[in-house]
Amino acid sequence: MRLNQKDILEIVPIRKPMLCVDEICEIDYGNYVEGYRNINKDEYWGNCHFVNQAIFPGTLIIETMAQISAFMFYKGKDTKTLESYLGRVDKAKFLKVVTPDCRMYIKAHLLTKVNNLTKMHCSAYVNNEKVATAEITLFFLNAV
């Protein structure tokens, strides 16, 4: 199942500049999700992080992982919302610098799920090179 920007805006209660998802490419409900974010220098961080060499902030890599991971529990049009909160980040590693004008793919696999708490292993890729990994724990407001 693929979800474009219009679909995403109908599902999540987040808007630009904090929306970190441009497209969801694949969903294997409760097991795996893959999506991407286009990284552009004209975003709010582009002229200040850092002034002479724009670098996509690590905190936004983590936020992108969290937002895309939530789509692992999207069942289709019957899903009312994917409202979730980032509960914890473990084992975060930033392997390469991410610069503007690229597409960053996120792949997330479920590690554990207990009630509305889910823990996923996430990896971020640019040009098929792994740039970051982390374990993300999300708390969903509705049952997943």
Q: What is the pLDDT of residues 17-65, one digit of tens each?
A: 999 999 999 999 999 999 999 999 899 898 888 888 999 999 999 999 9
**Helical segments of the chain, H only:** 5-11, 58-70
Domains held by the chain: number: 1
Q: Which domain holds residue 14?
A: 5-140
Q: How far is Cα 114 from Cα 22, in angstroms, rounded to an integer?
A: 28
- Which amino acids are annotated catalytic? 49
- CATH, residue 135: 3.10.129.10
Q: What is the pLDDT of residues 70-110, one digit of tens each?
A: 999 998 877 766 889 999 999 999 999 999 999 999 999 99
Query: What pTM was estimated for this model as a whole?
Result: 0.95
| CA-closest candidate to residue 134, choices 123, 118, 119 | 123
- Beta-carbon neighbour count of residue 134 at 10 Å? 22
